[in-house]
Structure formats: structure tokens, C-alpha cells
Amino acid sequence: MSSHYEAPIRRPLIIGDKSYHDITVEVAAPVEGKANKLWWTAFTIALLAFLWGIGSIIYTIGTGIGVWGLNKTVGWAWDITNFVWWVGIGHAGTLISAVLLLFRQKWRMGINRSAEAMTIFSVVQAGLFPVIHMGRVWNAHFVLPIPNQFGTLWTNFNSPLLWDVFAISTYLSVSLVFWWTGLLPDFAMLRDRAVRPFQKKIYSLLSFGWTGRAKDWQRFEEVSLVLAGLATPLVLSVHTIVSFDFATSIIPGWHTTIFPPYFVAGAVFSGFAMVNTLLIIMRKVSNLEAYITKQHIELMNIVIMITGSIVGCAYITELFIAWYSGVEYEQYAFLNRATGPYWWAYLLMMSCNVFSPQFMWSKKLRTSITFSFIISIVVNIGMWFERFVIIVTSLHRDYLPSSWTMFSPTFVDIGIYVGTIGFFFVLFLLYARTFPVIAQAEVKSILKSSGENYKLHRDAGGKNPAPTVTKSAINVKTETVVDSNANKNSLLGTLGVFDKETQTADDLKLISGVGPKLEKTLNTIGIYSFEQVSKMTDTEYDLLDSILDSFKGRAKRDDWAGQAKNLKK
């Protein structure tokens, strides 16, 4: 990677006086803690929506596609709109982890893990639609070129719908592998911190025995780079292929060459908006404001602004060329969008996608969290309508006026869409409680170049700053001097006095959460053995906390007593 020097003009990406350990603790906290009421409420709502969606899907498959609002003219509407919408949202994750990696954007490290999770979960939603919108779902396996009992019966590789199958399945698998590779060091961190055997077991399985040797890291970096290099063309080609579904047709309003890059730009646009929506909430509820800073939000807003402008440019291009082409069908398609029966959808799409990102030119607005949150939702509404407008307005009025019609969705169309939103949030909420939502290993790699404390120290003329380390060392010293003898005595009263003459001291460092420094501190209090530690209950934890200022709550959170009991055996 590039050198550790960073221009002073760059703003810090990690706020506050953080050490490596702080990062670990704060990233692990949501996983190690318990879910609160808010989480359970959100999860229940999402689950209900998901169940409702499952009901709608089962109803569709059991009864037939006729329960949707489609008709003979408009054969694609909410199904494919939702499909393209979800695929589009999924693109930001790969963009953040792959493209921003290639461009060496350090700020991606705070957000890439969640963005990739979002990719996986939204591609899962997208993947539902190509299947459930089939008239005969049970024959879906015929899209795969598998040798079968029909002799030479094979798929036709000329259809973009078949390319979709390959694109989406490749995209999902590569994203999954990319995501999981990045998770290995972080799962290993959770494994090493886990105190309850079950958690330890699970995270040992998930982390594939990651030990973090130099050779492993070197290969890890190389693999990330190669996967980023592969994921970037993949991300472009996947949404390009999705756009081919329309652009290869001869429908006026669909057949246009700008669709491939323009759909990709739109995907990045809506994807970043979704990342913004999710992360603005996450940084608050998971207390990660030091890692997902205002600057991260601002930079995402800038990406939204840029891609929004590109999308706007594409809209104008389409309008201009429609006029320029002199093809009356093409001209009518756009006239119909603006002034036909779906003018409101077109207006909504234009105002949400073209005008709303332009507000981000103002520094005041793009650094406002509330405003960003609102815009991020507005953008996703706009992008849903973009796909709706492209699909429905081009279909409902095309070459033959005798086949002109209208489209309106039924409750089943809506139910399935709501269901996918529910399913997405079910997955995302579960993820937020069980996965390290920030790539701590990566964030640690930029702590010394982009951490606020280090930057401040460097600006003050310090050469090799390590403020946290020196400070905690001082703290330990003062604590041991200041500690109240009364507390010490009552603590030892329940834990039992350790007799150095007759007993041998245990290696307290074996307890996860106890380092050499802390061990020394415990020794000065008079705690030497696992026997003593294993007797600790809430009262003893509190007493210990009153003696040790800087380690408040850690003993209890790490369940020292439980660990010591295991170690004693």
C-alpha cells in the first residue's frame, strides 16, 4: 500500500482517542451484547412483512400469475421493477468494497462490511423475482444448460434473460466469497474474545482457523485485490446485462444504447442511497459514530450527487436523441412519459433523481445527517419509479394503438414487494447482531494514518505517536496508588486471600480480556489465582470496577468468573 504519510489537510476517518483495543471492543460490542427492545420491535415488524410476502408468493404460485395486475400488453411491471431495483441497490456494496479499494479510498473501510452485507441481502431479494414471475416455476431448472432426457434440448444463449441467470448467480457467489474472505480476521477476533463455549465454537467454524500470520495476511491482501479487480467488471456487467433485458428489445423507450452505463450509474446512485439510509441508523444504534463519521456520510452524498448528475445527463440525452432521431414512436414514448397517464410517476422520478441530489452541492446540506437521511430515502423512491416508468410506460403504449392499455398493481404485487423489504430487513437485522459490522482489521490498518488522535499528535509535531498506550500506563499507576484499601480488603474477603508461600500463581493472562498490564494490577490487589477469580459475582465486579477506573465493566462483560472456572479444571 501507499506510504503511511498523510497530508495534514485530510480529515480524520476515526474520531476520538482510539487504540486498537478500543476498535475491537466497540466493533464486538453489538455482537457480544444483548438485543434491546428496539431491535426486537424492528425484527418483529420485518418478520411479519416477510411472512406476508411468503403468503403472497405461495398464493401466486398456487393460483397463477393472473393474481397480479399484469395484462396482455404489460407483461412486466412490479415484478421486474422490483428485480431491477433490488439488483441496483446491491451494486453499491461491491462498488464500495471493490471499486473504492482499487481507487485506494481509505474511507471505504468504515462502511464496506455493511455495504457488502447489503449487496448480498438485496441480491437475494432480487433473485426471487426472476423465479416467482415465471408462469411455471417448477420448470425453472430448464434455464440451466444441463444434459437431460430430452436429447439435445438446450437453452438458447441469445436471450438476455438467460444472461441474467448467469450474471446474477455469478454476482451473488463472487460477492459472497469476497465478503466472507474479508470477514475471516474479524470472525477470528470474535472467536478469540468469545467466552461462552457455544459462541467460541460458532466463530471458530466461521473464521476457518484464521491465525493472522504474515504469510496469511500477504495472501489475504492479494486475494482482496484480485477479487476487487474481478468484481469491478462484474458489477458493471451485471447491471449492464440487466439493462440488456430492455435495451436489446425493439420497444420504443427501451431500445437505446445508453442503457448499459446509465443503468450502472443508476444502480450506484440508488445503492449508495440505501447504504446511507442503513448506516445513518446503524452508527447511532450500534454506537459506531467514531468509525462511520460525518465525513463518510458526506462522501457518500458526493457519490450520490455525481451519479445522480450522470443519471440526469442520461435522461437529457435520451430526451434529446428521441427528438433528434425523428422516429415518431420514440418521440411519442417520451411524450407519453411526460404527459401521459403515468405523468405523475415520471414527474416523481425526475424530481427525486435529478433535482434532489443537486442539493448536495451545498456543504451545509450534505453534512447534515437528517437531510442526508431524507434524501437517501427520496432517491430510492425515485429510483423505484425510474424502473417503473421505463418498464410500464414503454409497454402500455407502443406501436399499435389497439393494444394500448393501463396497468395497476394488485395487493399480491404489493404484498410480494413488501415481503422482500421485510426479508431484507430480517437478514440485515440478524446480520447486525451476529457479524462484526465494521471491518475492524481494515480499520485498524488506517488508525495510525487517519485516526484523529494520531493526526492531532502528528500536527503537534510528534514523531511516532502512541498517545493511548502511554495514557493507560499512567492510569494504571495512579489507580494502584489511589485505590481504597477498604474496597481491596472486602474484595479479598470474599475471593479468599492468596498465600504466595504455599500456592502457585496462575497465569491470569489466559483469561480473555486480561493483558499483562491488567494482570500486574490484579496482582497488586492480591488476586493471583483462577480460584479467586472464579468466585467473582456482580458485587465483586462492582468492587473491582471501583478500584480499576479505566477497565470499568470489562470483567463482567468478559465473564471472568466463568472463564476462570473453565481454566481451573
Please, what is the minimum distance in Å from the beta carbon of residue 104 to other proteins? 8
Please, what is the minimum distance in Å from the beta carbon of residue 306 to other proteins? 9
Distance of CA 165 to the CA centre of its chain: 24
Give the C-alpha separation, 150 to 556, whole Å: 66
Give the C-alpha separation, 247 to 65, whole Å: 25
Nearest to other proteins of 120, 241 (CB atom):
241
Please, what is the minimum distance in Å from the beta carbon of residue 357 to other proteins? 12
Please, what is the minimum distance in Å from the beta carbon of residue 470 to other proteins? 27
Q: Give the CA diameter of the chain.
A: 102
Please, what is the minimum distance in Å from the beta carbon of residue 72 to other proteins? 22
Please, what is the minimum distance in Å from the beta carbon of residue 392 to other proteins? 20
Neighbours of 154 (CB within 10 A): 12
Please, what is the minimum distance in Å from the beta carbon of residue 403 to other proteins? 20
Nearest to other proteins of 228, 491 (CB atom):
228
Per the DSSP assignment, residues forming a β-bridge with 451 are 14
Please, what is the minimum distance in Å from the beta carbon of residue 393 to other proteins? 17
Nearest to other proteins of 78, 359 (CB atom):
359
Please, what is the minimum distance in Å from the beta carbon of residue 307 to other proteins? 12
Residue 158's alpha-carbon distances to 151, 161, 319, in angstroms, are 20, 9, 29
Please, what is the minimum distance in Å from the beta carbon of residue 269 to other proteins? 15
Nearest to other proteins of 99, 416 (CB atom):
99
Residue 384's alpha-carbon distances to 461, 479, 507, in angstroms, are 51, 58, 60
Give the C-alpha separation, 131 to 128, whole Å: 6
Q: How open is the CA angle 439-307-428, to the nearest 5 degrees? A: 35
Environment class of residue 246 by beta-carbon count within 10 Å: exposed (0-12), middle (13-18) or buried (19+)?
buried
Nearest to other proteins of 235, 543 (CB atom):
235
Nearest to other proteins of 268, 314 (CB atom):
314
The one-letter amino acid code at 33 reads G
Please, what is the minimum distance in Å from the beta carbon of residue 4 to other proteins? 9
Is the CB of residue 522 less than 8 Å from the CB of residue 495?
no
- Strand runs (DSSP E) across 350-469, as ranges? none
Residue 546's alpha-carbon distances to 520, 529, 532, in angstroms, are 17, 21, 18
Give the C-alpha separation, 130 to 134, whole Å: 7
Nearest to other proteins of 327, 347 (CB atom):
327
Environment class of residue 87 by beta-carbon count within 10 Å: exposed (0-12), middle (13-18) or buried (19+)?
buried
Nearest to other proteins of 307, 368 (CB atom):
307
The position carrying cell 514523531 is: 463
Nearest to other proteins of 256, 453 (CB atom):
256
Nearest to other proteins of 134, 321 (CB atom):
321
DSSP 351: I
Tell me the three cell numbers of residue 365. Answer: 446540506
Is the CB of residue 60 less than 8 Å from the CB of residue 68?
yes
Nearest to other proteins of 181, 331 (CB atom):
331
Neighbours of 369 (CB within 10 A): 15
Is the CB of residue 68 less than 8 Å from the CB of residue 471?
no
Nearest to other proteins of 8, 62 (CB atom):
8
Nearest to 383 by CA among 128, 122, 109: 122
Nearest to other proteins of 146, 316 (CB atom):
316
Please, what is the minimum distance in Å from the beta carbon of residue 372 to other proteins? 19
Nearest to other proteins of 189, 299 (CB atom):
299
Please, what is the minimum distance in Å from the beta carbon of residue 256 to other proteins? 5
- Strand runs (DSSP E) across 84-183, as ranges? none
Give phi and psi for 76, each to the nearest 5.
Answer: -125, 130
Please, what is the minimum distance in Å from the beta carbon of residue 407 to other proteins? 24
Nearest to other proteins of 235, 536 (CB atom):
235
Is the CB of residue 253 less than 8 Å from the CB of residue 334?
yes
Judged by the rule CB under 8 A, the positions of this chain that interact with other proteins are: 1-3, 5-10, 102, 233, 236-237, 240, 244, 247-250, 255-261, 309-310, 313-314, 316-318, 320-321, 324-327
Nearest to 299 by CA among 440, 49, 87, 109: 109
Q: Please report, to the nearest 10 degrees, the dihedral formed by the alpha carbons of residues 552, 558, 564, 567 taken in order.
A: -140
DSSP calls for 19-43? -HHHHHHHHHHHHHS---HHHHHHH
Please, what is the minimum distance in Å from the beta carbon of residue 3 to other proteins? 5
Give the C-alpha separation, 122 to 340, whole Å: 32
Tell me the three cell numbers of residue 391. Answer: 418498464
